Chains A and B, each alone.
Chain A
Amino acid sequence: MRIGYMPDFFGVYDQLTVGEYLDFYAACYRQSKRRRQKIVEDLLALVGMIDRKHQLVDTLSRGLKQRVCLARALVHDPAVLLLDEPASGLDPRARVEMREILKELQGMGKTIVISSHILPELTDLCTMIGIIDRGRMRATGPVREVIAGLATGRRLRINVIGEKDAAIEILTPLESIRHVESVNGAIEAEYVGDERAAADILFALTGAGIRVSSFTPVDGGLEDAFLKATSEEVG
């Protein structure tokens, strides 16, 4: 009763309006009739579909169906939400809207567990992450830590004005630098160490008189971390 579940399929009935659809599931969760009316109104407001209350569920677009399904998972006001692939098959706008709704739910104090293959979306949404491969939890922890812990090395994208070759010459011998290459007119450098090491690299460049126009840490992000975690030989 404390878990709201949204599967990766919609599961809608034909010949049922959005309002009736939600009312049906609220009734299944044994909410009283008077409470159900308020629940349906509140949830439709939450997912921004008040004006669609009398539309048949089956005629909605994928993005709207997904929102109705999210509302359905919330009819009994669960503390924990289990969402399976909430972003799959949605167009970019629908994804952004879904993410906004999830953020609102997060703000309401709900614990949201998302299973997803679309990784970049999750980086800024999640607080904790677990990577499961073949039934085993490979990595778990706060998102930043997992990414940092699994990253082979950190990367920097450096843009300089003019003296690119000179910059590469300065970078290559540095202790923390593993690899330097020129990519699309910018320099990409792989290094080991923390933020301090990055600061030292920048200091070395500017100290040598190189005019650095941008100095950006490039995150391989969740995808890299995932690939790293799942490609590791099983111990």
Chain B
Amino acid sequence: MNAVSNALWNPIVAKEYRTRMRTWRSPFAITVYILLLGGLGWAAFSLIVASTSQAFGAGSGSNYGQLLFTFLIIFQVALLGFITPALTAGAISGERERQTIDLLFVTPISPFSIIWGKLLASMSFVILLLVLSIPIFSLVFLFGGIELDQVVYAFAVTGATALTLGFIGIAFSTLFRRTLPATVAAYGAAFVLFVGFFAYGYVFPTEADPSVTIAPAPPAVTLISPVVPLLAIASNQPIQGYGIRYKDGLQGPYLNKGVPAQAGLCGPTVNGGVTCSSAVYQFSFATGTTLPSGLFAGWQYWQASILMQLLICAVALLVSALVLPPVRRFRPWRRDAPRPGRRMRSS
């Protein structure tokens, strides 16, 4: 076997697959997941049909598809936010509690392989859930309004989010000796990832001058949360009114409009945005799903999101790999152990 197949298929992975799929928990989790996702899809669909038919007499099919997709993709990532920490937070601490971790340490298996194997096994389960949800998502295509690439990008963001939560879960699992605090910490981290970074855009939005010609974008860190990138993918346009504060508070009238009301006065800017001028002020609005400015100017929302999540993964992996080994080569807080053979003075 070469190095790649060794890394992909180490004994930990095989063992994890066996033990994980033999319990009733895995089929139960899969069933609940599909039922919840399908149930929500059905409920959202009925709600959309009911509300649009009453309000407008006839809704357009493409809108159904887009709305349904938005509901499903956000609900799916939220579900994974609940499932992934549970999958990984007990990975290492569970081995500690079962006292099997020492037995693994005495084998030639490297701590990195242990972490990698655990991660691969739990991520495979997440991928299984994502694959199982494809039939539900395929319903969206019945209505149209969503292209295949949108689904692919949305699944990529969802997968990256699950991966990040998985890495964080493993990191906490190595940091904490017990599974319970590790699980609590992993859920805390999931909350920060989803809600914290999303709320950041409301609390500390980008201050935009109405006279700028380049359209403003929300602060880059807000894209760590999958919510905004997913909404941008689903709606195929930037999220208006999020993460940007216009001086003079003139953001209000345009909050729910993709393009400014006075389209006739708008012209394109150099950076993919639209500049609109009214009698008094000039405003800049972003169009398309490309970030018009900021750290990731010119990137898609989802690209920026995935990159930042992968960075978090790398940090979490580094922390896990440094903390897990019983004999640490890197120990900043090293204390001198008593030398063997020297008499201890106990009294």
Chain A residues with a Cβ under 8 A of chain B: 1, 3, 5, 7, 9-16, 20, 24-25, 27-30, 72, 134-136, 234
Contact pick for B100, options A1, A12, A29, CB 8 Å: A12
- Bound-state CA distance A146–B344 (Å) is 25
Instruction: Give the top 9 A-B pairs by smallest Cβ distance, nearest first.
Output: A27-B11, A28-B107, A15-B22, A11-B100, A15-B19, A11-B99, A9-B99, A24-B15, A11-B103
Additional A-B contacts beyond A7-B102, A11-B103 (20; CB < 8 A): A1-B108, A3-B106, A5-B106, A10-B99, A11-B102, A12-B100, A13-B19, A13-B98, A16-B15, A24-B11, A25-B103, A27-B11, A27-B14, A28-B107, A28-B109, A29-B107, A29-B108, A30-B108, A136-B341, A136-B343
Chain B residues with CB under 8 Å of A72's CB are: 103
Q: What's the least CB distance linking B184 to chain A, in Å?
A: 23
Chain B residues with CB under 8 Å of A136's CB are: 341, 343
- Bound-state CA distance A22–B125 (Å) is 25
Task: Encode B15-42 as 1/0 by CB contact (under 8 A) with A.
Answer: 1001100110000000000000000000
Q: Which of B84-141 contact A (CB under 8 A)?
A: 98-100, 102-104, 106-109
Q: What's the least CB distance linking B9 to chain A, in Å?
A: 10
Given contacts A14-B19, A30-B108, contact A7 B99 (CB under 8 A): yes
Instruction: Report whether A28 and B98 are in contact in the complex, using a CB–CB cutoff of 8 Å.
Output: no
Chain B interface bracket (under 10, 10 to 19, 20 to 34, 35 or more):
20 to 34
B340 interface residue (CB < 8 Å to A): yes
Chain B residues with CB under 8 Å of A7's CB are: 99, 102-103
Chain B residues with a Cβ under 8 A of chain A: 11, 14-15, 18-19, 22-23, 98-100, 102-104, 106-109, 340-341, 343-344, 346
Chain A residues with CB under 8 Å of B18's CB are: 15-16, 20
Chain B residues with CB under 8 Å of A234's CB are: 343
- Bound-state CA distance A119–B294 (Å) is 73
What residue in chain A is nearest B21 (Cβ atoms)? A15
Chain A residues with CB under 8 Å of B341's CB are: 135-136
What residue in chain A is nearest B342 (Cβ atoms)? A135
Q: What's the least CB distance linking B144 to chain A, in Å?
A: 45
- Bound-state CA distance A3–B106 (Å) is 9
Chain A residues with CB under 8 Å of B346's CB are: 134
Contact pick for A15, options B23, B100, B106, CB 8 Å: B23
Given contacts A16-B18, A135-B340, contact A25 B102 (CB under 8 A): no
Could you list some 29 contacts between A and B, CB below 8 A?
Answer: A3-B106, A5-B103, A5-B106, A7-B99, A7-B103, A11-B99, A11-B103, A12-B98, A13-B19, A13-B100, A15-B18, A15-B22, A15-B23, A16-B15, A16-B18, A24-B11, A24-B15, A25-B103, A27-B11, A28-B109, A29-B107, A29-B108, A72-B103, A134-B344, A134-B346, A135-B340, A135-B344, A136-B341, A234-B343
